[in-house]
Amino acid sequence: MLNKNVLWDFTYGVYVVSSFDGDKPTGCIANSVAQVTNTKIMVSINHSNHTNSVIKKDGYFSVSILSEKSDPNIISVFGFTSGADTDKFQKIKYETKNNLPVVYDSIGYIILKTTDVIELDTHSVFIGEIMDGDILRDGVPMTYKYYHDVIKGRAPKSAPTYIEEEVKPQTGVQYRCKICGYIYNGDITKEPPNYVCPVCKQPKSVFERIIAV
């Protein structure tokens, strides 16, 4: 039987994949990004992500490489809100490179032209020819493990690596963010009304109490 924990031992980075929806920049977080040939890179994006259809229309996309020092807000905005109803780049500073949006607070970027799209049941795998790219500043690239272990982030449900985690409540009261899975230890009702989830920045109302069994 599959031990799902073995999947946590794959290594990934954390990236923002972006494109232009007409003249509106949009994007989403991706961790399944890999160089597959000397000149090509693949990214896997869920069918439900707005960015998926935008890349299909535009034919070009960029990959911004996040570092351990990149603002965690970038992950909140690009990972846990939808570009269909939010102008994500209104909240996150970007530059335009080769007519594509690139996250300013990243350590580098790659510009890609879509050459192949492989449709899987839940995701599209976009293969892109590398057109351009550059290093923007020094920094340690953020790994998915760092995001999990240090930022205490979770995968959105649309991520290829999403695993339904079994939550084993400790003794005492715990709450779970229904959006990102963040666990709050203690009685969240004692937090002020403006409390927001530290990972996805959603309000207190999205937390549900975990009942011990």
- Residue 65: closest CA among 74, 76, 52: 74
Q: Which residue has the tokens 């005492």?
A: 172
d(CA 129, CA 39): 6
Pairing label, strands 40-46, 33-35: antiparallel
Amino acid at 66: L
For Fe ion, the closer CB: 94 or 147: 147
| Shortest distance (Å) from residue 177 CB to Fe ion | 3
Q: How far is the CB of 85 from Fe ion (least distance, A)?
A: 18
Q: What are residue 133's phi and psi, to 5 degrees?
A: 170, 160
Q: Which is nearer to Fe ion, 30 or 179 (CB)?
A: 179
Judged by CB, which is closer to Fe ion: 118, or 150?
Answer: 150
- Write the burial class of residue 133 (CB in 10 Å: 0-12 exposed, 13-18 middle, 19+ buried): middle
Q: Is 130 or 173 the residue whose CB approaches Fe ion more closely?
A: 173
CB 26 within 8 A of CB 51: yes
Contacts with Fe ion, residue ranges (CB under 5 A)? 177, 179-180, 182, 197, 199-200
CB of 158 to Fe ion, least distance (A): 15
Nearest approach, Cβ of 182 to Fe ion (angstroms)?
A: 4
